[in-house]
Chain A
């Protein structure tokens, strides 16, 4: 077991799916979908195995694989997994699998769609596993770029605009990121891109750290929906097709936060300490601001899009406390938010597929028209409000406890954000889910046994970790040993 290259195998799941998808003639749509679903299932299984095989008592990085890639530049293919990435790996696998299932009814250019989508997933896995900063950046770009065609071709509502906006924002982030990474490489002696070795080299002076840290933080932060560079995210959510929204909010935005954690804070602790109060203020702004904007939105997906800005603010606030509890909470929130938004978009996608309408004012009393499908939405809404019994409660609890300790005022403001969050969530629930029935949608079909599966998985995950947060917290905490 210990010799089995489980991470490379995980990475190969989407890669093989892409390869096979390209080989299969486009008219065999079922075959293409099945291949990708199988790849997703395999990824979930492998993620479970990795979860089980990870030795929490030892902690740190495990299952390391190390091969030279571009020796002349010191670039290596180094993959390993620690407590944080065990969790995020699981998140990505789940969202991948359920995302494929959510797109089962896709008819337009199936082959190309799944090729791009699996490429994206491949990049995300690569980012989570890479310990080599260059490989990290490489996979990062692999993950980001397929978003453009995915939105521009299969999207809706100003799709070209949104795709372009998203790509430009993210490229701008990368443009900050790459110089920052090169600066790390050069300053650490120009011999290794290995994140851990760079961090341990002690080569970064305080001034250097303070100068470089904002490049990395903002560069990654753009992808994490950091206020005030969040504009691409809601627009992108709205335009993207269901599974892409799921991946986008569920996983892709996590890459940014993960990058901050894995590279920026790990390599530049003094820079992080210097900038943390500033960025904590921005994160809190994001929490409150996102909630308020969501209160005015009438499009389901815009509401969720801005709720993501708000919830990712909680992640960033947790990271910026620079405490163990805050980081635990942030990683937990990444996971919980990933599953939750996937559920949200999955539910909205279900509605949109049948009604081609997403304006909450055009619905009403949906709970009596499609009770099961809408219950899933309610579950996601409750989770978003931080109701106990769902995973995100614990994440928010940890972040808020840490934040109140480190920045009392910001902490209290962030907690007050819960009221605003409840306000917009209840607005959606009260307008579209409850309230007088709109007879126009009486023909609405509730989910069948097949399409309830992906959503049921997501709900189960949310509830499981809502009741047993220790399963995930122990895992995240074991990473602290290695970091």
Chain B
């Protein structure tokens, strides 16, 4: 039953992150939400790896990749956020609707 507990934990992390991404209007908060979602996924990997996999290294490698990606993504995202802030003095996502069809 420990696996279920870990899965519930990762689900909770992911859901909180998702909520942040969907509902928050501040770009920084959305970025944090994305990080939470990535971490939720990572926990999920680790949990399955620990309880079900024969080879303990696989899940960990995946998580390392995720962390690496998250770092890169955070760097890019923050620079985009900075650029947005510079151009419009706000990081409120509601104003960013240039992609409107």
Complex contact flag A–B (Cβ < 8 Å):
no
**Contact surface of B with A, Cβ cutoff 8 Å:** none
